[in-house]
A = this chain, B = another copy of it.
Amino acid sequence: MADDMTAPLLSDSESSADAQPTCPSSQTAVILGSGDFSRSLAVRLVGCGVRVIVGTRCVNRIPSGLFPDAVELKSQEEAASQVDCVVFMAMFPEHYSSLLGLRSTLAGKVLVDVSNAAETNTRGPSNAERLAELFPDCLVVKGFNTVSAWDLQTGAHDGSKQVSICSDSANAKRKVVQMAQHMGFHPVDMGGLSASREIEVAPLRLFPSWSGPVLVTFLLFFFFYGYGFLRGVLLPFLAQGHNVFYRLALDVVNESLPAVALATLALVYLPGLFAASLQLWRGTKYRRFPSWLDKWMQCRKELGLLSFLCAALHGVFSICAPLRRLTQHKSINAAYKQVEAGVEEPWDEVGVWRSDLYLLCGVLGLGVLSLLAITSLPSVGNSLNWREFTFVQSGLGYLALTLSIMHTLFFGWDFAFHAKAYSFYMPPSYVVAAALPCAVLVCRCLLLLPFISTRLARIRRGWESRHNCPVSQRHPVVANGV
């Protein structure tokens, strides 16, 4: 980019420059292979002003118009003989050996392996390492495999902008890094070629950050579903012959969902409390957390979103209640009984307040949670500064937790304390579910006590208690990172 800029611009003699400017070496790319990836790569490179030569076995089989006009289609031999270029291997790794005849032609060149692993748990050398074995005189660079043909054609987008690159040759790596930057990607240096296995496997991973939280949520759901089934369906049937199996489809689900939502929301804020306690106890922020805590803290966003999902489903299922045949049946029979009794239903002031208050808290809690979910969107979250992010995630998060707990408490009202609520000596799901969130909220309030919060703030600003700092380093104050 630098070179082709200076040279023709300083001369600025249009007549010669328009007649195909002489591109320097770094601006020529050879692509071996003519599939989808090759095509997309060619489109992108041509769009960035790079000279592109596509090497294919059967030049005449390529339909015209498949590649941009600026692309030069050549035989693989001709393409490979281009000097001073970066060679992209746009073919399946099992076909690499078909190029062994070009070994001497390619010697000294930079080969970019763009392939993905076939399976997640492969053994043996990676594709790039095998390529390096096949072409020992070439400089093999791994990269671009995380980029899809789609990304290449539509231009860089935020999330997929990163391109992991590794190579044993620093010089070859730099060439490819520069080409990636030129194409609008953000190259990330992953080190030597031994890192290629990890890079190759990356595109096969299925939501690696979600597997833990999803598992936890499912386990919680099965626990609460099982608990609800036992307490509300099976035991009544066994003990009293009371057949309420129809509750399995919706009622037990809708009792479990809010319990799961509450528990997961508490799990979002629990690790932060652990971390704060650990820092307070150690008197420094410079020691690493245990790895389980680190992992847990990295799952908070996912746990929060799953909590929101459960809460939203609970909301929708609850709102659907009047559409259920069961509700209509109950409502008609309630009216029937009232008529039989011969009196209007008496005014139930407490019942009215209770239902209104728990609906209010529930709706507001879900509303706050949905604001949190919106700020979890990459494009929204990235536009927040640190203080805004903290305000949303911590401030609004604890507000949502508080509202959810109030929703549960108003729902429970005094029934939660009646002996009748504890059928078979088992408390209702919502009592079980509310225990952990209440504990989290109480601990959080403890951390807000002045003498604790001051100490914590000092620690987080880099202060260390005596026993952490060797005497020799105590004066002057160590310059700590921001």
Contact = CB atoms under 8 A, between A and B. Distances in A.
Interface in A324-382: 324-326, 328-329, 331-339, 344-345, 347-349, 351-357, 359-360, 363-364, 366-367, 377-382
A344 B332 CA distance: 8
B384 A249 contact: no
A194 to B, nearest CB: 13
Nearest to A391: B206
Interface in A265-296: 288
A39 interface: yes
Interface residues of A, number: 158
Given A47-B187, A174-B21, A202-B385, A33 B377 contact: no
A384 to B, nearest CB: 7
A414 interface: no
A20 interface: yes
Residue of A36, A175, A364, A478 most packed against chain B (CB within 10 A) = A478
Closest 4 CB pairs of A and B: A35-B481, A159-B383, A2-B2, A379-B379
A82 interface: no
Contacts of A91: 479-482
23 contacts: A2-B5, A5-B26, A12-B171, A21-B171, A38-B482, A46-B189, A76-B479, A91-B482, A159-B382, A202-B385, A246-B352, A316-B319, A316-B363, A317-B363, A324-B359, A325-B354, A325-B356, A326-B355, A329-B345, A329-B352, A331-B331, A336-B338, A378-B382
Contacts of A33: 479-482
A1 interface: yes
A462 interface: yes
Interface string A377-409: 111111111111101000000000000000000
A398 to B, nearest CB: 16
A63 interface: yes
A432 interface: no
A95 B480 contact: yes
B329 A348 contact: yes
A184 interface: yes
A9 B331 CA distance: 82
